[in-house]
Amino acid sequence: MDIQQAFKMSFKSLMASKLRSLLTMLGIIIGVAAVIAIMSIGQGLMNSVNEMFSSLGSNIIQVGLYVRGESNRTVTVDNMYDFVNENQELLCDLSPIVYIQGQVKCGNEVMERPSVSGVSEAYDSLQLLKLSQGRFLQYVDVARKEKVCVVGTYIVDNYLDGEGMGKIIKINGENFTVIGVMEQMGDNTERSEDNQIFIPYTNALQINGTNFVDSYGVNATSKENIAPARLAIEAFLEEKLSGDGFYYVQSLSEMLEEYNKMQNTIVTVLAAIAGISLLVGGIGIMNIMLVSVTERTREIGIRKSLGAKRRDIRLQFIIEAASTSAIGGVVGIVLGTVVGMAAGVLMNTTITPTLSPIILSFGISVGIGIIFGYLPANKAAKLNPIDALRYD
């Protein structure tokens, strides 16, 4: 018997009992669909996060200090600027970052949870910010503690009647004039990056009643310089503070790498759990094929009496099992792709299944059919033709 004839006979056998064939494939369909959907969603989320980090600038290094200004061991803003100026081959675009918590009002209306940060004139270069109106903060604004601010589109649309420039925003009782409006960065909702206000960090320190800055952002001059720049900052802080428990230094590229590792681990574990149903599907195929061998015992006896060899019978049943799982794999791939794309629509992100999980899932489904189909096929091949012909 040739392979083509074996496939034809397998297809006829599957079509003879469509419902049973469908139920046999169900485990494979569910397993493959689950694996494809999970891996597609995981990859889509990783791509979305990578794009977000790229928009922030992947060369950013974040520095945090845990030592208060009144301590004998401290790092001042001037210390940080001097250090960056001395290491211009590694670092650029330094900005202190001072977070403000308090009431923010426009007229008599209190704003809902805006993010208010005090930054320097380098912050727009640091974060790759783009403005749709006006300008960003300048050195003179920071040096003179000018009461000016730059706002996001959510604030303009919801509190400033769509006209940001020249409007007054009151932060903890102090009036700040809007001099710039950023381009939309998120989905323009309350919890997005568009609900932000930036003021000179010198004003933010004054509002907070302190001279101590505990957070900085700085750019490495290139991706290749991220690691040496981080080591240089750590050495500087170690010398100033005499203990790594008093500071942290982390680059966005490192954060992204850690996130991708964690995401890959989660997706792999979920895909493995979903893959258990492939094993269940394989057991289902084996059971149905054993039943099929019993039902077709006389057919096997007739074929053997007409000259069919053991390998011909074995090949026929293995191909039938592999065809069943392969068709189930194809249906599962289509279903998993549809589920993944639907999930992308619901999560407002682009999810496109990649080729590698599709090929892997299909290959596994065919392999399961061959492996679990071998036992029934071997049982059929070993049947005695005389006993098979007598079987009722």
pLDDT of 160-174, one tens digit each? 888 889 999 999 989
Per mean pLDDT, which range of 10-14, 208-212, 363-367, 369-373 is the poorest? 10-14
pLDDT of residue 22: 81
**Do residues 135 and 179 touch, judged by C-beta distance below 8 A?**
yes
Q: How confident is the model at residue 295 (pLDDT cuts 50, 70, 90)?
A: confident
**Do residues 200 and 142 touch, judged by C-beta distance below 8 A?**
yes
Per mean pLDDT, which range of 36-40, 56-60, 126-130, 287-291 is the poorest? 56-60
Percent residues over pLDDT 70 in the chain: 92
Percent residues over pLDDT 90 in the chain: 27
Q: Does 179 have pLDDT greater than 60? A: yes
Cβ-proximal residues to 30 (8 Å cutoff; 6+ apart), any chain? 277, 281, 332
Which tokens is 372 given? 């679990």
Q: Specify the pTM.
A: 0.63
- The arithmetic mean of pLDDT across residues 200-208, rounded, is 94
- The arithmetic mean of pLDDT across residues 37-62, rounded, is 75
Between CA 309 and CA 315, with CA 312 as vertex, the angle to 5 degrees is: 150
Coil, helix or strand at residue 245: helix
DSSP 184: P
pLDDT of residue 170: 93
Mean pLDDT of the chain: 84
Per mean pLDDT, which range of 7-21, 290-304, 342-356 is the poorest? 7-21
pLDDT of residue 391: 63
How far apart are the C-alpha atoms of 80 and 220, rounded to whole Å? 14
pLDDT of residue 201: 95
- The arithmetic mean of pLDDT across residues 220-234, rounded, is 89
DSSP 307: T
pLDDT of residue 200: 96
Q: Does 101 have pLDDT greater than 90? A: no
Burial class of residue 384, CB neighbours in 10 A (0-12, 13-18, 19+): exposed
Q: Does 263 have pLDDT greater than 60? A: yes
Which tokens is 303 given? 């074929």
Q: Does 240 have pLDDT greater than 60? A: yes
Q: Does 141 have pLDDT greater than 50? A: yes
pLDDT digits (tens, 9 = 90+) for 27-42: 888 888 888 888 888 8
Burial class of residue 355, CB neighbours in 10 A (0-12, 13-18, 19+): exposed
Find which of 135-139, 207-211, 291-295 is predicted with most confidence, using mean pLDDT: 135-139
Please report, to the nearest 10 degrees, the dihedral formed by the alpha carbons of residues 19, 23, 24, 29 taken in order.
120
Q: Does 348 have pLDDT greater than 90? A: no
pLDDT digits (tens, 9 = 90+) for 57-99: 568 899 998 865 445 678 899 999 999 999 999 999 999 999 9
Q: Which residue has the tokens 């997706």?
A: 267
Q: Which residue has the tokens 């750590």?
A: 234
pLDDT of residue 244: 61
pLDDT of residue 50: 67
Phi, psi for residue 186 in degrees, rounded to 5? -125, -140
Of 314 and 119, the structure prediction assigns the larger pLDDT to 119
Which tokens is 173 given? 């009782």
pLDDT of residue 52: 65
**Do residues 6 and 316 touch, judged by C-beta distance below 8 A?**
yes
Q: How confident is the model at residue 320 (pLDDT cuts 50, 70, 90)?
A: confident
pLDDT of residue 51: 67
pLDDT of residue 69: 47
Q: Identify the bridge partners of residue 91 per DSSP, sorted by sequence position.
A: 220
pLDDT of residue 181: 94
Cβ-proximal residues to 373 (8 Å cutoff; 6+ apart), any chain? 285, 286, 289, 317, 318, 320, 321, 322, 324, 325
